Amino acid sequence: MFLWLAALTFGSHEPLFYRAAFSPSPEAVAPAADDPDALLKAYDNALSNKRFDEALATAKKLQPDRPEGQAFAAALQASALLGLKRDAEARALLARAEQLAPHSAEPSRVLFIGALVTDRPEFAADALDRMIARAPDMVRDLDWDTVRYFLQKEPKGQDIRNEDRRIALARIGYGGETEIGHWRAADAVDILVKRGDFAGARELLQYVNEPEAYEDMLIQKRYAPLWPQLGELGGPHLERVRESSLQGIQAEYSNAPNDQEKLNLYVNALRHSGRYDEAIALRSKVPATVAAMSSADEPMGWTVNNIALALHDAGRAEDADNLFAMLNDAPMPKEYWRVSMKINRLELLVEDGKFEKALPLIEPTAKTEGSPYADQLVRRLRYCTLSSLGRKDEAAKYLPDLMKHAADAPGPTIDGLLCGGDLDKAEQVALDTLGSKDKAAGFEKDFIRRLQAHRLTSDDPSVWQGRWQELRAKPAIKQAFDRLGRDLPPEFLLPDRLNASTK
């Protein structure tokens, strides 16, 4: 009930502020001097809404008796001082907190969130590093959205330290036996491989348990020293890692069947294991009508998305499109997050050659707010669809804009160019990107995956032209592919992919 008070007394609940930090409420809460819980809620509201003077004054009214509580209150004040750019005072209070409670990591947790709210990532980094060293259990309890936000804001110019932190998160098991944990481990393995530390990478492979990540490593030659262990851990058709991934996520879902995020992960894990019928059966968990779909939020949207992809994977393309249409056409006050589902619907329609049906959906999708990457996906869908309908002159009007934004999404740009028959332009984009010091690292994996002879496990139905194989036949592209990667050996492919080449 008293969330901040529970934290002051070392309870198990996160303070209210932890949850409100990224979605502040505009309403002020009047503090009561004799009520710690009211003071903490008022502090939470003031800090979340950037009223740092008010937050500082409120924190000073807290007078806990225990040294641990005093250290906690000092961290609250320090967070507000960071927002006021009074760093020297903040550091002095943090030193005081350290003296009061040298073995407690609670002040560091307060500072970690406070520094994110006040946009001081360098202080958040210090706090998280202390927590990793002193209280890994506390770190494992941190909300992923908060940690992800921090990882996007890591201090600039500290590449080695930032990488070390990501490795440390994997080594303490952050994310556990979930998709989050598996990808954290895969990220750490990637860093260690880049450093040439294959012994360290081998230690973390057992925590990856993500079929798509295994495929990524098994097709890139820089991971070659790990291939024997990956094959052993993954098993035939990667069945062992698929089943391990599924079991971990299934257990998480069974413990919280009403948690939408866990349902979403479970549907995805079933898909990645080739258990499409079981994934489709979970359609009973999503709204059944357009009216009901109007209340869907983003987590529900991704569940609908993944069930639709499972329908398509199972050969039920019309059912998949109808489900996408129900979500995408439902009236909603805010729909920015639906751009991903709109794009994925278009991807499948284009993949299936249903260009006439796709065309009228493109412009409404283009008007939905998205990232630069998403915007380029729409540009290439437009170019591909018009080209495929024989409307070459109209498609040509959009080509300069497609090329102008190639750096935002090189792989999808090549998709569109290949679909339009522009093989030479597609080759040039690929070679230019591979030759760029800044862009090559982020493109190499995508390049190797798209050139595969068989489709791999993926959330994104982006391989919808067999023309990638035409591109691969070009000498310069073949040379780059052979230097960087290989086809996934047949023994690791899902059986239904083994008998079907890329279209």
**CATH code reported for the domain at 1-156:** 1.25.40
pLDDT band at 30 (very low <50, low <70, confident <90, very high): low
Q: Which residues of 452-468 are buried (b: 16+ CB within 10 A; e: fewer)?
A: bebbbbeeebbbbbebb
CA–CA separation, 73 vs 119, rounded Å?
Answer: 20
Contact criterion met (CB below 8 Å) for 408 and 375: yes
Count Cβ atoms within 10 A of the Cβ of residue 103 and give its class: 0-12 exposed, 13-18 middle, 19 or more buried: exposed
Which residues 6+ apart lie within 8 Å of 343 measured at CB?
Answer: 365, 374, 377, 378, 381
CA atoms within 13 A on the CB side of 142: 29
For 465-503, write each residue's pLDDT tens digit: 578 889 999 999 999 999 999 999 999 998 766 665 444
For 48-60, write each residue's pLDDT tens digit: 999 999 999 999 9
Which residues 6+ apart lie within 8 Å of 18 measured at CB?
Answer: 113, 143, 146
For 91-125, write each residue's pLDDT tens digit: 999 999 999 999 899 999 999 999 999 999 999 99
For residue 17, pLDDT beyond 70: no
Alpha carbon 147 to chain centroid distance?
11
CA–CA separation, 341 vs 296, rounded Å?
Answer: 13
Which residues 6+ apart lie within 8 Å of 437 measured at CB?
Answer: none
Domain ranges of the chain: 1-156, 158-255, 268-333, 379-503
pLDDT band at 5 (very low <50, low <70, confident <90, very high): very low
